[in-house]
């Protein structure tokens, strides 16, 4: 089984990738998307989103990191894809699944699932632009408002030359509401000759097994489940026990150090509260801690609360 850490805009940045891959169980990470509009972006943009490029595009724990691009112009996406690979990204991923309204309004992300021909053009141009041997993947949902184009979209991506397809088993309209329709992935597998990774609603080892059975996929991608349970990948792969709360609390303390002494200190209070919002799905203590820090606005106020035994 191959487990990928999902790209999650505003959540899974390089600091979170570092922490989660140090715990173990992940085989690959995908960055938050880099938005491509009408230019070749300067190298600093790629390094900002993927500082792991300075480390052979690997996290400190040695897990490869792949850059994800989002946009609607095949030529500009192709040029930026070539740059990402030139800088050392471990393959290239294309985002056809982001449900954010602001992104969809500018013809990015899931809105393109209404246009199979555009998907084909984008993947085809990127395929031609990157060196032979580059693993090109795409991430899609089952559709925008419905699943009527699910097969056609997957076929367009495969026919255009992608090596790998990640399917989030919900439509844009579904958002993140359960359930994920894993059985749809199995149906899509029947009509495309491409490796597929299943994604959506995997919160436990049993969920992972159920997803594999219903999707007919061996490989999975973890997103929110890994934020709620930091060693979920280890639990799934190795049958590890759930990380005890004391260890999770120490992760939160370590995260405060990363954020404050890194380049994102001003984001720390909101990032921490966001993470606690996921952790409280698995740990009651996180809910208590969230209530204690909810009204606090600075790191200096929050860190003493984290350090309380």
- Active-site annotation, residues: 98
3-state secondary structure the chain: CCEEECCCCCCCCHHHHHHHHHHCCCCEEEEEEEECCCCCCCHHHHHHHCHHHHHCCECCCCCEEEEEEECCCHHHHHHHHHHHHHCCCCCEEEEECCCCHHHHHCCCHHHHHHCHHHHHHHHHHHHHHCCCCCCEEEEEEEECCCCCCHHHHHHHHHHCCCCEEEEEEEECCCCCCCCCCHHHHHHHHCCCCCEEEEECCCCCHHHHHHHHHHHCCCCEEECHHHHHCCCHHHHHHHCCCCCCHHHHHHHHHHHHHHHHHCCCHHHHHHHHHHHHHHHCCCCHHHHHHHHHHCCCCCHHHHHHHHHCC
């Amino acid at each position: 089984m191959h487990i990928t850490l999902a790209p999650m805009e505003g959540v899974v940045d390089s600091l979170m990738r570092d922490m989660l891959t140090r715990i173990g169980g992940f085989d690959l990470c995908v960055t938050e998307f880099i938005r491509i509009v009408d230019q070749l972006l300067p190298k600093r943009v790629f390094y900002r989103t993927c500082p792991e490029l300075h480390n052979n595009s690997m996290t400190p724990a040695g897990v490869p990191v792949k850059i994800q691009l989002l946009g609607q112009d095949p030529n500009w996406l192709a040029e930026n894809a070539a740059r990402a690979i030139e800088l050392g990204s471990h393959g290239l991923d294309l985002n056809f699944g982001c449900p954010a309204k602001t992104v969809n309004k500018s013809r990015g992300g899931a809105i393109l699932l209404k246009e199979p021909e555009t998907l084909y053009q984008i993947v085809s141009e990127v395929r031609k632009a990157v060196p032979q041997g580059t693993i090109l993947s795409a991430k899609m949902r089952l559709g925008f408002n419905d699943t009527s184009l699910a097969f056609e979209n997957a076929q367009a991506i495969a026919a255009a030359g992608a090596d790998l397809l990640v399917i989030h088993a919900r439509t844009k309209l579904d958002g993140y509401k359960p359930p994920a329709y894993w059985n749809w992935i199995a149906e899509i597998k029947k009509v495309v000759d491409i490796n597929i990774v299943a994604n959506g609603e995997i919160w436990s080892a049993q969920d992972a097994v159920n997803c594999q059975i219903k999707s007919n996929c061996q490989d999975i991608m973890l997103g929110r489940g890994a934020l709620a349970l930091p060693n979920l990948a280890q639990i799934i792969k190795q049958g590890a026990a759930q990380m005890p709360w004391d260890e999770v609390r120490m992760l939160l303390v370590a995260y405060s150090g990363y954020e404050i002494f890194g380049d994102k200190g001003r984001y720390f209070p909101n990032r921490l509260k966001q993470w606690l919002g996921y952790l409280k799905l698995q740990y009651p203590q996180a809910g208590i801690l969230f209530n204690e820090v909810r009204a606090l606005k600075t790191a200096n106020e929050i860190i003493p609360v984290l350090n309380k035994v």
